[in-house]
Structure 1
């Protein structure tokens, strides 16, 4: 195998994969063991946050601070107001971040880092409730916290047992357990989730509807007695690969570019043909209030490229799979 003009041997590959597998095995076992460490303290902490009138202030130092930031992001996106406060900055002016009704979560593997130890009495003086996420149940943090979530790990994945790896994975998982517990107890739904994620692909999957797409498309349609040329011109001009076939104000069928190809293969003389002769009956349809992601699922299930959209009984337009690709849904 050649990479950047350097040769890598089969032994090199196996060695690298062995390291990676060992790392994942150590971390996965530690995270799985958290299940055994969960106790009443976790439930009480969740219930306290649920009843809290303020925010959740999450703090830590070093790698724990980075994990704390991620937990804050997860809480905010799942309906629990949260803010990050670096423990070192807290004792140098940022303690004002914490408001009267806030609850504080401190992350620390050892529970004895100088910044955390300096912060603890200040939190007690201000009478803020404290939740500890720590791997040391005998630490200053654990002893002074109102609730303790045990994230003990036997060893780091680092062969020197120094670089925070397994411990930060455990902290991250515990933070997720907190956030999802709160989410479910609050009855936080996908529509609620969409309010916090209006941008990007995720947001679109949660809120973008067929109506939002068809309003930007042209609306191809011809009368059932239109000749083949009119049908082809309509499909070509509207650039959606399809046209609805109308009888009065009612859709009675469709003609797709595939129907046109099949017509050309079947007939030597097409001069007398009309839309009625080549249309497909009972086209697949969706309502305009259907989520775009559900429209995509229907297209994939039926192995087709377009759906006719209806607003009640009224033909509203066409949603094409290319629309969904352009929106980033697919």
Structure 2
């Protein structure tokens, strides 16, 4: 075991500093494995309590445990559980009014003896909320008061002084994740559900459905197969949202083909200007790639990337044209943005 002087002395070299950093990760990994092995049916009972909760989940803790609780509340909320962080010091000055009969209070405390947390318990009980504790010992004050106690056991800190919360908070956060994700599993939480709660950012866009971002109406250039190429482009001239594709459909709305600006350029490059007066149905790309309504935008972007195309029609299950995904609408959301 390191002495105090060894624990507080600065590393003598980069190699020594790297070895210390790796030792911290090793110690935290070992602590996490030990907590994993101690985990028992209490986490299942706690998850069922949260799953069956008819109110909200109020997450509390003091100091570093409180920060872990905030993260757990965020994970619960993002996976479909109404969860809110509550600072215990603020709670006893009025914020306990957020707690209602039927709620579940999820309390984090390494020692299980945190004064600010214990002070809440009589009122929580009087209100009628259930209590789940995540703590070191089931025999602690918090553990004994809880309806369900998830006891992690003794977790030695990775801090060489044995003081700074490190391995204990890592383990506590992992247990909070396990509880939240088990609840999500009980809810049969789907990627579509996840997208509903994550509409912004790259993750939200990746999980967005194609029909939520496709162009429709005047923003889609449409043609009948019997119209000539020249007629189509004259008719579609004028101010409108820029698009590099004309979609050809029949009188039932079924997608027949696509004719892109690149196709038009190739006619000129190959001196086939006479084909401008042929029906567009004869020079279009028939049976083009398409996305079906309900598909995730991330899947559509990967298809566009793999086939090096800039426009992707969107159809319903029967093949009727609904809209168009244009790569210019996805600027700032490249395929790499949709990767895990």
- Which residue matches 2:163? 162
Change (3 A) 1:308 1:27: same
Q: Which of these residues, 270, 273, 279, is aligned with residue 271 of structure 1?
A: 273
Contact preservation (8 Å) 2:39, 2:152: no
- Tell me the number of residue pairs that the alignment of Structure 1 and Structure 2 aligns: 317
TM-fit CA distance, 1:133: 0.8
Contact preservation (8 Å) 2:255, 2:315: no
- Per-residue CA deviations over 1:310-330 (Å, capped at 9, x if unaligned) read 355544443122323456874
Contact preservation (8 Å) 1:217, 1:317: no
TM-align CA RMSD:
3.5
Which residues in structure 2 correspond to 1:6-25 (within 5 Å)?
Answer: 12=14, 14-25=15-26
Equivalent-residue separation in structure 2 for 1:123 and 1:309 (angstroms) = 52
Equivalent-residue separation in structure 2 for 1:306 and 1:122 (angstroms) = 60
SS of match in other structure, 1:154: coil
Q: Which of these residues, 221, 224, 243, is aligned with residue 246 of structure 2?
A: 243
Q: Which of these residues, 326, 330, 340, is aligned with residue 324 of structure 1?
A: 330
Q: Does 1:98 align with 2:99?
A: yes
Change (3 A) 1:235 1:74: farther
Equivalent-residue separation in structure 2 for 1:45 and 1:225 (angstroms) = 66
Contact preservation (8 Å) 1:242, 1:254: yes
Change (3 A) 1:73 1:217: farther
- Which residue matches 2:5? none
Equivalent-residue separation in structure 2 for 1:185 and 1:288 (angstroms) = 28
Change (3 A) 1:46 1:308: closer
Contact preservation (8 Å) 2:58, 2:84: yes
Change (3 A) 1:33 1:216: farther
TM-fit CA distance, 1:62: 0.6
TM-fit CA distance, 1:17: 4.0
Which residues in structure 2 correspond to 1:201-212 (within 5 Å)?
Answer: 201-210=202-211, 212=213
- Per-residue CA deviations over 1:131-173 (Å, capped at 9, x if unaligned) read 2211244432223333221234532232322221221111111
Q: Does 1:36 align with 2:42?
A: no
TM-fit CA distance, 1:278: 4.7
Change (3 A) 1:270 1:125: closer
Equivalent-residue separation in structure 2 for 1:250 and 1:70 (angstroms) = 48
- Which residue matches 1:135? 136
Q: Does 1:226 align with 2:243?
A: no
TM-fit CA distance, 1:61: 0.6
Equivalent-residue separation in structure 2 for 1:166 and 1:203 (angstroms) = 32
* TM-score of the superposed pair, with normalisation by structure 1: 0.79
TM-fit CA distance, 1:107: 0.8
Name stretches of at least 5 consecutive residues in structure 1 with no aligned partner.
Answer: 1-10
Equivalent-residue separation in structure 1 for 2:256 and 2:42 (angstroms) = 64
Name stretches of at least 5 consecutive residues in structure 2 with no aligned partner.
Answer: 1-12
Equivalent-residue separation in structure 1 for 2:178 and 2:48 (angstroms) = 13
Equivalent-residue separation in structure 2 for 1:227 and 1:129 (angstroms) = 70
Contact preservation (8 Å) 2:209, 2:294: no
Equivalent-residue separation in structure 1 for 2:39 and 2:113 (angstroms) = 22
Change (3 A) 1:155 1:243: same
SS of match in other structure, 2:258: strand
Q: Does 1:254 align with 2:258?
A: yes
Change (3 A) 1:276 1:54: closer
Contact preservation (8 Å) 2:73, 2:85: yes
- Per-residue CA deviations over 1:250-285 (Å, capped at 9, x if unaligned) read 6543333443454455x2x33322356653332112
